[in-house]
Structure 1
Amino acid sequence: MLAHALLAKQAGCSLIGSLLGDFVRGAPPAHYPLAWRHGIRLHRRIDRFVDTHPASACSVQRLPTELRRWARVALDVYYDHLLSRDWPRYCATPLPQFASTVYRALDEHRHALPPDLVRFADFMTARDLLAAYRDPEVIAEVLVRLAGRCRRPSTLAHTFPFLEQADAGLGGDLAQLYPATLRFARGEVAARQLRPAA
């Protein structure tokens, strides 16, 4: 969530559209603004880019074999932890200020958002979750919550200690992955002449 929000800002794409990417299945609804629909599609292209990047594959290999089926979900969360912890490396705007901007945007458009995103946005804002991602205990809690939402048994609730053990390596992976992903996102925006509205 944090990485997608920052990528949207730095690539010049719709913040709301980017955040909708995890909450919309299938074709983006036709009644959404064009910028939102572009943001949803960009979110999906970013996910595919990350999943096939060598640094991401390296991160998966840092985890025990029995945890790798759910590794990419766990890594998405842990990358947000690393991003928030090393925030000045990636963004000049202070994290609390950036997080507030995201919360305000979601609240401004809550009437048009799917119920699942509205509920998550309310929870995220109440907990100041984007800034709280710096806290390892919060990351462990998020992984447990995600495990509880899975329809099939998952290893997510047990993954945090192994992520923490691999912290230095994962930080190095993200230091390669984020700039590459940002270049990709900017290229996609430029190629499609996407507009950053809301």
Structure 2
Amino acid sequence: MNYLAHAHLSFNEPDILLGNMISDFVKGKQKFTYSEEIQKGIVLHRAIDQFTDEHAVTAEAKKVFKPAIGLYAGAFIDVVYDHFLALDTTERTEGEWKQFSSDTYAVLQQYTYVPERFARMLTYMSSQDWLFNYRYRWGIQNTFKGLSYRATYLNDESATAAYTAFEHNYEHLQACYQQFFPLLKAFAWEQYLYLCKK
């Protein structure tokens, strides 16, 4: 899953939120330089990613993007799931999503000991309000361009092809999200409760 989902599935716990958001920037034994609560967020992030990557619904959704971007389809699906989550009024209203985005940046900015790459990214994330703007198709288009720019074997044409596939399969992808996200949320909650008992 992408940043909005990881933030949302941190269940309003600041240390869990930080761990969930920095996980991809923390390698190997670096995890143990953080507090136990932040480590729990890192573990939760990885459990969420594994559940998502291995789920049959995600495999079906990836088929939309594989002709255009091949093995990178999973990363693009994560962004697509965030788009539909940002529009999901069964989780939060539009106003609540706006407040949630602002609150998330504020919490994350309170931490001084974070990976340098994450700190740089957070500056852009907050100033450009990535979390809230996932709800807009132009936000998704911009994110696809960013993914393609950072990927070794993708380019502007890849981003355009992926966005075209997104538009042409919008309702199908939305149905995949609607089927998958309640399952993910239940899984993440169970994992969160398990980690909190440790």
Question: By the TM > 0.5 criterion, same fold?
Answer: yes
Superposed, 1:48-197 pairs within 5 Å as 48-86=50-88, 88-91=89-92, 94-109=96-111, 111-150=112-151, 152-154=152-154, 156-158=158-160, 159-193=162-196
Structure 1 residues without counterparts, runs of 5 or longer? none
The alpha carbon displacement at 1:11 in A equals: 9.0
* Greater Cα offset, 181-190 or 26-35: 26-35
RCO (CA 8 Å, sep 6+): is it higher in 1 or 2?
A: 1
CA distance in structure 1 between the partners assigned to 2:105 and 2:70 by the alignment: 32
Identical-residue share of aligned pairs (%): 28
CA distance in structure 1 between the partners assigned to 2:180 and 2:195 by the alignment: 22
Aligned residues: 192
Post-superposition Cα deviations, 1:75-100, rounded to whole Å, max 9, x if no partner, equal: 111111111123x1223571111001
Structure 2 residues without counterparts, runs of 5 or longer? none
The alpha carbon displacement at 1:13 in A equals: 7.5
Taking structure 1 as reference, are residues 164 and 27 closer, same or farther at Cα in structure 2, changes over 3 Å only?
farther
1:21 aligns with 2:23: yes
Post-superposition Cα deviations, 1:106-149, rounded to whole Å, max 9, x if no partner, equal: 1111x111111111111111111111111211211111112212
The alpha carbon displacement at 1:12 in A equals: 9.5
CA distance in structure 1 between the partners assigned to 2:24 and 2:119 by the alignment: 12
CA distance in structure 2 between the partners assigned to 1:28 and 1:7 by the alignment: 23
1:36 aligns with 2:53: no
TM-score w.r.t. length of structure 2: 0.88
SS at match of 1:175: helix
Instruction: Answer whether contact 1:5 1:15 (CA < 8 A) is retained.
Output: yes
Q: CA RMSD in A?
A: 2.1
Q: Which amino acid is the alignment partner of residue 161 of structure 1?
A: T
SS at match of 1:14: helix
CA distance in structure 2 between the partners assigned to 1:119 and 1:64 by the alignment: 30
The alpha carbon displacement at 1:190 in A equals: 2.2
